[in-house]
Amino acid sequence: MDSRHSAYKNLEKKIKEKTAIVGVVGLGYVGLPLAVELGHAGFSVLGLDISKKKVKLVSAGKSDIDDVSDQRVKKLVKSRKLKASSNFSLLKQADCVCVCVPTPLSKTKDPDVSYILSAFSQVKKYLHRGQLVILESTTYPGTTEELIRPMLEETRLKAGRDFFLAFSPERVDPGNPQYNIKNTPRVVGGTTSLCTRIARLFYEQTIVKVVPVSSTQSAEMVKLLENTFRSVNIGLVNEVALMCDRLKIDAWEIIDAADSKPFGFMKFYPGPGLGGHCIPIDPHYLSWKLKSLNYYARFIELAGDINSRMPEYVTDRVNLALNQKGKSLKGSNILVLGAAYKRDISDVRESPALDVMRLMEQRGAKVTYNDPFVPEVIMDGHSLKSRKLSLRMLKTADCVVILTDHSLYDYPWIVKNSQLIFDARNATRMVKNKKKIVKL
């Protein structure tokens, strides 16, 4: 048996027997749920993060991620199936390493892979024969093959022979009650066929269905297609909302009626803009990569332009609604409901609600907000704290602006006691009294 197959067989045995030690680098929205799922499946997990605060939190058996309960973390920490640390030398013990670090955009909307490179500089230090290394962070096609593989092979260990390298994009949807890590199919592509095979085996221990693709580039492209699809379609319905406003018809009625067609149509809804880490950011990774190949991704750029303008459009519409009541946005008391980027979660990453609040403040409005999931937000160097929703707050607000349609809100009560409502999410669709409501 050659060294390649020897390394493979040894790792295969450890994975199947759940004796493999797994290192998860990054304990954020992707890494912590993965670490918990792996620990629950029977693996011993080393959770590594540069944040001392995060390590302390997890070590105390607590979670700051909506979809991961304190109880699950505490159980794994207590049973020693999950250990959190900032000591990356622990990677020497790991048989498998999953890198789950942020991949933001720079101010010029170029990919910022500094977190990936920093994480892999640590992985490289402790890379050893027979180790499986997987990147889960969303990035542009070619990252694993062009950046990560050469870096790791500087150790003189070869991918596919001495260690195994793969890419498998995370598919986390915060707040989704139906789909989680375990029942969401996982795409995986390796730098060689053996890399793909062992990475597939690894994920099959915790995930119901694993879909192998031909390369790391293909796996990287899959994630970008998924989120570009959403970005472009959301851009389309946002433009439909702008059209319907000009035509004086109800965009929400049009979309729901079109959705009655059982084929050839998929429903998307307009809103105040795009939020979350993935959809506003990932398509720009693809666009940037294609520019280097002298190709302009027109759909991506157009959708990005439309979606990025929605917070300003919402602000203009609130101003117009106030004007029709004989008021101006400047000096008005504005109560915003919802700061998170989507319903029933605490995540404010790239939240359009923050952009709308910022724009209204810049135009002289007195902005307060309530969000049962978000106690505080930081805007332009100052903080705003969520205020308890009260009858007095509703009655004294010149306009209540619904930017996140949390299910905890009592919308009939909100409408009844408000002077004016601007509803950017169609949250008040079941309320009978429509006279006070202006919809996106």
* Model pLDDT for residues 222-259, shown as the tens digit of each residue: 999 999 999 999 999 999 999 999 999 999 999 999 99
- In this structure, the strands spanning 333-337 and 399-402 are parallel
CA angle 46-94-68, nearest 5°?
30
Q: How far is CA 290 from CA 64, 139, 169, 228, in A?
A: 36, 13, 20, 14
Same domain as 350, residue 206: no
Total domain count, the chain: 2
Helix (H) or strand (E) holding 439: strand 437-439
pLDDT at 250: 95
* Phi, psi of 200, rounded to the nearest 5 degrees: -60, -45
pLDDT tens-digit profile of 306-348?
A: 999 999 999 999 999 999 999 999 999 999 999 999 999 999 9
User: What is the distance of C-alpha 265 from the center of its chain?
Assistant: 25
Would you place residue 393 in the very low, low, confident or very high pLDDT band (cuts 50, 70, 90)?
very high
Same domain as 412, residue 315: yes
CATH of residue 377: 3.40.50.720
Whole-number Å distance between alpha carbons of 298 and 374: 36
In a domain, 236, yes or no: no
Last residue of some domain: 214, 234, 263? 214
Same domain as 334, residue 272: yes
Type of residue numbered 427:
A
pLDDT at 377: 96
Same domain as 257, residue 181: no
pLDDT at 317: 98
Of the ranges 29-43, 173-187, 273-287, the best mean pLDDT one: 29-43
pLDDT at 283: 87
Would you place residue 2 in the very low, low, confident or very high pLDDT band (cuts 50, 70, 90)?
low
Does residue 4 carry a pLDDT above 70? no
Same domain as 364, residue 309: yes
- In 19-142 the beta strands, taken as DSSP E runs, fall at 21-25, 44-48, 82-85, 96-99, 132-135
CB 213, CB 189: distance < 8 Å: yes
The yes-or-no answer on residue 399 being catalytic is no
In a domain, 237, yes or no: no
Q: What is the mean pLDDT of residues 145-171?
A: 97
Residue 218 DSSP SS3:
helix
Query: What contacts 24+ positions apart, CB below 8 Å, involve 423-429?
Result: 424/271, 424/272, 424/314, 424/356, 425/269, 425/271, 425/272, 425/338, 426/252, 426/269, 427/402, 428/402, 429/252
Best CA proximity match to 402, nearest among 380, 424, 387, 420:
424
In a domain, 277, yes or no: yes
CB 133, CB 97: distance < 8 Å: yes
Last residue of some domain: 166, 194, 214? 214
Q: What is the mean pLDDT of residues 176-197?
A: 95
Kindly report the average pLDDT of the chain as a whole number: 95
Type of residue numbered 383:
S
Whole-number Å distance between alpha carbons of 5 and 255: 55
Same domain as 342, residue 434: yes
DSSP structural state of residue 325: T
In a domain, 219, yes or no: no
Tell me the sheet residues that pair with 335: 368, 400
In a domain, 235, yes or no: no
Q: Which of 98, 100, 195, 278 is catalytic?
A: 278
DSSP letter for each residue of 228-254: HHHHHHHHHHHHHHHHHHHHT--HHHH
pLDDT at 113: 93
Type of residue numbered 167:
F
Does residue 108 carry a pLDDT above 80? no
**Which range marks the domain in which residue 289 is found?**
244-439
pLDDT at 280: 80
Same domain as 249, residue 200: no
Q: Is 121 left (phi over 0), alpha (psi -120 to 50) or beta?
A: alpha
In a domain, 108, yes or no: yes
Same domain as 201, residue 126: yes
Same domain as 174, residue 62: yes
128's tokens: 């050893």
Last residue of some domain: 214, 232, 252? 214
Same domain as 162, residue 13: yes
Same domain as 281, residue 198: no
In a domain, 422, yes or no: yes
Question: What dihedral angle (degrees, nearest 10) is formed by the CA atoms of 281, 287, 290, 294?
Answer: -150
Whole-number Å distance between alpha carbons of 106 and 388: 36
Same domain as 204, residue 251: no
Tell me the sheet residues that pair with 401: 336, 422
Whole-number Å distance between alpha carbons of 405 and 236: 21
In a domain, 238, yes or no: no
